[in-house]
Amino acid sequence: MSKQVKALITQEIASRLKDVDGVAVINPRGIDANKNHQIRRRLHEKGLRMMVVKNTLARRATSDSKLKGFDRLLEGPSAVVFGKASIATIARALLDERKELESLELRGVYFDGEFYIGEKGVEQVSKLPTREEAIALIAAALAAPGRGIAAAMASQARNIAGCVKTIEQKAGQKEAAASAASPAA
């Protein structure tokens, strides 16, 4: 491969990975063309991409990006899975693919300067909340004190309403007893 072709491929890899915060790496060896196409299609439906890379060119392409250092996962044939989705979504998608295809080797995940190596690392990342799930957890935590105050206020109002109702019932019973006693007198 000429230097010009390598430079073009390096630029293409760099442009695809420039806005990516994290990637997962798999070993595409042993996956035939039909299964490869099926994997790519299912990943694409989830907004993810899979790109088979030459390791040295991927190292060069990411040397000045957020992914600098992910090359530790690049040994032998490598395919990089990336997308706009959160890294937890990528990990979950890869675990789903692993269920479909037992021979799929998960090398690991890289994001925020951290490595999660092998299938156990991918499982660990898949348990992290996605961005949307994290926002929902934070919103629930912020709303919890307000719900507690509202519940306390509502319970006090129920207590007062219960007292008023009891007083009304007793007053009604006294009136009924008084009206029943007055005609008899």
| Contact between 90 and 21 (Cβ < 8 Å) | no
C-alpha closest to that of 17 among 51, 54, 40: 51
C-alpha closest to that of 25 among 61, 53, 64: 53
184: helix, strand or coil: helix
pLDDT at 70: 76
26: helix, strand or coil: strand
The CATH architecture of the domain made up of 3-128 is 2-Layer Sandwich (3.30)
Task: Report DSSP letters for 32-43, one per residue.
Answer: -HHHHHHHHHHH
Rounded CA separation 121/112 (Å): 14
pLDDT at 183: 61
Rounded CA separation 77/100 (Å): 20
pLDDT at 184: 53
Q: What is the pTM of this model?
A: 0.67
- How deeply is 77 buried, as exposed, middle or buried, from its count of CB atoms within 10 A (0-12, 13-18, 19+)? middle
Rounded CA separation 58/35 (Å): 24
Query: Taking the chain, what is the end-to-end CA distance rounded to the nearest angstrom?
Result: 119
What is the torsional sign of CA 14, 15, 16, 19? positive
Helix (H) or strand (E) holding 50: strand 48-53
- Which pLDDT tens digits describe the chain residue by residue (185 residues)? 788 888 888 888 888 888 888 888 888 888 888 888 888 898 888 888 888 888 888 888 888 877 777 778 888 888 888 888 788 888 888 888 888 888 888 888 888 778 888 888 888 888 877 777 778 878 877 777 777 777 777 777 777 877 878 888 887 777 777 777 766 55
Domain ranges across the chain: 3-128, 130-185
pLDDT at 167: 83
Please count the residues of the chain: 185
Rounded CA separation 124/132 (Å): 18
